[in-house]
Chains A and B, each alone.
Chain A
Amino acid sequence: MLDFFEQQRRARQRSRLLLLLFSLLVLLLGFLLGQLFIWLTYFWGWHTNPWVWHHPMNYLWLLFVYSSMLTPGVLAWKRYRRGGFDLALQLNARCAYQLDSPEVRLLQQVSEEMAIAANCPMPSLWVYPDDQSINSFVFGHDSKDVALFVTQRALQDLNRQQLQAMVAHEFAHIVNADLLINYRLLIMLAVLAGPSEQAKSLWRAVLPGAQPQPQRAGKRSWLMQDARDSKSSGGMIFLIPIILLLSMLFWLLGTLGLWAGRWLRARFCRQRELLADARAVQFTRMNRFLAEMLWRAEHQNQGRVLAGGMAELLQHLLLLPSQPEHWLACHPPVKERILAIGGRALLREMGQQKRSDPEKAKQQLQQKAQQGLLPGDLLWQAPALGLGLAVCADSLALNHARKVRTALPDLLLDATRQPSLALALSTGLYLRAGNSGLTPFAQAQLAEVDAGAAGWLVEHQSLLASLFTAARLPLLELSMGALQALPLARLQSWLALLPRLDRDQAAEAPRAKLDAWLVWRYLQHHLQAKPPVAGRKRLSELGSPLWVLLSYLAWANGQAGHELWQQLKHELQLSQQQWLPEKALTPELLASSVKSVQQLRSFDKPRLMELCAQIITEDGQFSLEEYERLRLLADLLGLGLPQLRY
């Protein structure tokens, strides 16, 4: 059994040692810089005897150095003094108590339970919707302004026990007083960064080329100005090399101190993470779910970083950072964390599970294809994808994207991580959804936005054409992070271009057009995030838009049942006698319907998703097209996927 009390005791001891080292480093750096000044003034003849410790000049320099180091510390203290509520506003997070969904209610429940287990007050709960990774963090200084942030993806993808383990980890940070320690570390790091920053300021003062870009134009440094103006009267030009030398030494020492400080912070924060993991196990009494959650989050977060301008500030607070393997990373590698909580057997189990997946998946694939549940002739066009398809077909309801992803070709996965290639890939997926190829017109249009993307798309369009529907959504999801890194203007021009790319194509089947529209709308929705619409309409008040939307789902399989319509019509109080004919479904109609349905009040949204699920599983099974339509619609409406029973 894991002795989590012993684990905590060890981690606490190491933390104390590191905090002591940190303080010593600050003192040592200040002392060295003070000595530098003392000896320089001695060589210039302003100091009589630096060997005498109690000389007033020594005290003066030490006082100067320490006060100049403390100034950035005080500024950092003021900058980071904001509590959790202010941060929530900056991140555009949504208060959990104002949201009404099963996932958020679950978050509230497990948080209440963990507050009892941790014997500490409840923090305010916030959902961070703009992030596609599984992550969480706490921020604040004391129990009054602590805020716990959980990403929307974590709420959607984790089960109850895993979510509980995640929340327990964050409560452990609160109980261990890590918030205060992190705050102190930030200030200490600012203190250590002070000398090198001041050296840079000195350079800027001396060298005009070192001025920041906006200030550089038409300006000269004040010292050069002084030197030039006073050249006739003897001037201060002799000071320039002295200040340069001084600042260089200052910078060298300061930078060394800063890197040492960063290294110490990384070591320190790693200990605190291990301590928080051990305490989370104490709260939940289950190391398995914490290990599972960490494993899952690590594999799902690859290439995804926390969005927003606060990413750098928050890195050391996150459950999982964006660069876990970096030598200055504030978190130990996930494997080490799992081993530390006694998860050696679990790690082996998860590793074996991963290794045994391909064989199992292949068998499942063959079985499904034989049963006619999957179009087997298409699967072999891209063998790697076929494998993923088999895995996802096994549990389509929940882990669609993650499992397909494990089998995607490396070439495409690499493309999702680079903005330009992600743009090309998404364009290809859009065209594929509309059954359109890359025409010369489309190629020329895309080249205007990004020439590299057009070239890549031409080269790999045959691979994209062979992609099965199952890969489309995961690839789009994976590309989101890289696409968000593109300049806004380029992104907007590309989004505006997409619907025009297939304009010279012959008239396509309505279904293909609708799917392409859905992909475009999905991209637009996620790349141009807008605040969610607070709907007030009841399900029975929606009328025609609901009819259009449900018909779109009903026709996904090519046929729509009359009996189901009669049943739904009665429940939803709709006046229409039959599904909307497939031919009448147009992107414009669907667009206006989605807009209207977004006005639905949150209370009725889960019921709507249940109805949608009922429609696509009416015949006892569901195709990937049906599933993809449901998934995209759920995303557009800001809802989680319902449980699919088939």
Chain B
Amino acid sequence: MSVSLSLDQAVLDQALLAQSLPMAESNSWPWWAWLLVAIAVLIIIAIPYNRLVRLRNDWRNAWAQIDVQLKRRHDLVPNLVATVQGYAAHEKETLSAVMQARSGAEQLRQRAQADPVSSLAALGQAEGTLGLALGRLYAVSEAYPELKADSQFAELRASLEHTEDRIGFARQAYNDAVTLYATVRESIPYVFIASILGFAPIPLWQIVDDAERQVPQVRF
């Protein structure tokens, strides 16, 4: 009798233990609370992530604008050289310097399409060199009145100058976008997650050639 009673007691204890297990678990968080926490964490990460993505796309778009204008500039240069060649064929040194600078800049531009961050400084320098070579070409053209009077030359020169203005504004837009990106990236809470999520710092497009910094002298 007592055995059966003890057995019953054991069964009863087991049953009670089985029932008490969920009661013991009820002191920890329910599954939906964990889900809510996970969603909250996701949102906390997603909002800054989305903002960083938007800003990254902004500077990439600004970079694409620079690329478009540089392409336009590089396309105009051979036409200009061809026109000058018709009047000043013996200025070979100047003309070949322009073409060399142009092809160097074009190669770097194509490389920068794939990886703008690492090619930026070199491209800036190459564009500076091209600008200097073009400056020398314009100086040479002053010695040829017929060339100066050529309407095609004047038109190409005006187009190039207009394109250079456009490059200036595109560069400005790019620097603005990069500055905003850097400001956000280095602020709290973005600074904690930016590097982990792969948002690297981006350099500004700075003038690398001292000659370009100089204010042009205009004489009448």
Contact = CB atoms under 8 A, between A and B. Distances in A.
B173 interface: yes
B62 A119 contact: yes
B65 A282 contact: no
Interface stretch (A106-114, A411-419, A464-472): A106-114
Contacts of A283: 169, 172
A8 to B, nearest CB: 11
Interface residues of B, number: 15
Contact of A116 (B58, B170, B177, B180): B170
Contacts of A116: 65, 69, 166, 169-170, 173
Interface string B102-118: 00000000000000000
B186 interface: no
Given A119-B58, A119-B61, A113 B166 contact: yes
Nearest to B183: A5
A294 interface: no
A118 interface: yes
A283 B62 CA distance: 13
Contacts of A118: 173
B177 A119 contact: yes
A397 interface: no
Nearest to A110: B165
B173 A117 contact: yes
Contacts of B173: 116-119
Q: What bracket does the count of chain A residues touching chain B fall in?
A: 10 to 19
A114 B168 CA distance: 11
Nearest to B176: A282
A117 B162 contact: no
A228 interface: no
Contact of B65 (A5, A114, A119): A119
Interface in B55-83: 58, 61-62, 65, 69
B172 A117 contact: yes
A118 B58 CA distance: 11
A285 interface: yes
Nearest to A114: B169
Contacts of B172: 117, 283, 285
A112 B163 CA distance: 10
A117 B169 CA distance: 5
Interface in B6-62: 58, 61-62
Contacts of A113: 165-166, 169
A118 B180 CA distance: 14
Contacts of B162: 109
A603 to B, nearest CB: 14
B160 to A, nearest CB: 14
Nearest to B62: A119
A462 B189 CA distance: 78
Interface string B144-182: 000000000000000000100110011011001100100
Interface string A1-42: 000010000000000000000000000000000000000000
Contacts of B69: 116
Contacts of A117: 169-170, 172-173
Nearest to A109: B162
Interface string A569-609: 00000000000000000000000000000000000000000
A197 B166 CA distance: 51
B78 to A, nearest CB: 23
Contacts of A119: 58, 61-62, 65, 173, 177
Nearest to B58: A119
A109 B168 CA distance: 14
Interface string B73-101: 00000000000000000000000000000
A112 B167 CA distance: 11
A237 B25 CA distance: 76
Contacts of B177: 119
Interface string A248-275: 0000000000000000000000000000
Interface string B173-201: 10011001000000000000000000000
A109 B180 CA distance: 27
A112 to B, nearest CB: 7
Given A109-B162, A117-B169, 10 more contacts: A5-B180, A109-B165, A113-B165, A114-B169, A116-B169, A116-B170, A116-B173, A117-B172, A119-B173, A283-B172
Interface of B: 58, 61-62, 65, 69, 162, 165-166, 169-170, 172-173, 176-177, 180
Nearest 8 A-B pairs (CB), nearest first? A117-B169, A116-B169, A113-B169, A119-B173, A116-B170, A117-B173, A116-B166, A117-B172
29 contacts: A5-B180, A109-B162, A109-B165, A112-B166, A113-B165, A113-B166, A113-B169, A114-B169, A116-B65, A116-B69, A116-B166, A116-B169, A116-B170, A116-B173, A117-B169, A117-B170, A117-B172, A117-B173, A118-B173, A119-B58, A119-B61, A119-B62, A119-B65, A119-B173, A119-B177, A282-B176, A283-B169, A283-B172, A285-B172
